[in-house]
Amino acid sequence: MHEGDVFTTAGVRAGEVRVVDSHVNPMVPVRLSVEGDEVAVRFAHSRNGGAVAHLDRTSLAPIGPELPLSAERPAAPSTEAARVVLRDGRSIVCWKSGDFERGYRVMAQAWTGGGQPIGAPVAISPADSDVFGAPQIVTVDGDHAIAAFAVVADDHAEVRAVSLQVR
């Protein structure tokens, strides 16, 4: 990307986007939390109640089977940006960007502790899917973060997760 005469690069490095679960209800918000060495992703299935999936905080591989839990009620999707502060004061902000005709993506932007952008924003959701609702983000160790979001792809909804690091 070029911005004026200055060449800019992405300030956030995104890992491989992983499917956490398919056939979810995108009208129920995705919730993300850190539980010890695991990341817990809470969501609702499309036909029955909710579930929590535990992921390895480094590889995002599932740890054990999903556990059932009561689902939240469906609600209008949030449009709020999500922000997480890292150990050194820098932060990562994620938000949904786009429009109905071209689709929606999750963007990520790194910021210094003083509020200055680090590099350019980067799309962290795949181009072949349409994001539904706002992303969630947590830090797993103070230096890295995990973002999760619901997408609609191939006529079904999925929850996806991606690891993020400030360059």
- pLDDT 10s digits, 81-138: 999 999 999 999 999 999 989 899 999 999 999 999 999 999 999 998 999 989 999 9
- Asked if residue 9 has pLDDT above 80, the reply is no
| pLDDT the model gives residue 48 | 80
Give me the number of domains the chain comprises: 1
Name the token pair of 107.
């963007």
Residue 150 near residue 43 (C-beta atoms within 8 A): yes
**CA dist., res. 15 & res. 165, Å (int):** 8
* Contact criterion met (CB below 8 Å) for 39 and 161: yes
* CA dihedral (69, 72, 78, 80) positive or negative: negative
Residue spans of beta strands (DSSP E) within the chain: 2-3, 6-7, 12-14, 18-22, 31-35, 38-44, 50-56, 67-69, 82-85, 91-99, 103-111, 117-123, 130-139, 144-153, 156-166
Q: Is the model's pLDDT at 2 over the cut of 70?
A: no
Percent over 90 (pLDDT), the chain: 73
Q: Whole-structure pTM over 0.75, yes or no?
A: yes
User: Over the chain, what is the mean pLDDT?
Assistant: 90
Which residue segment(s) compose the domain that 84 sits in?
Answer: 2-166
pLDDT at residue number 164:
96
- Per-residue model confidence (pLDDT) at position 8: 53
Residue 1: band (very low, low, confident or very high) from pLDDT cuts 50, 70, 90? very low
Q: Tell me how far the alpha carbon of residue 52 is from its chain's centroid.
A: 16
Phi, psi of 86 (to 5 degrees): -90, 170
Q: DSSP label at 74?
A: P
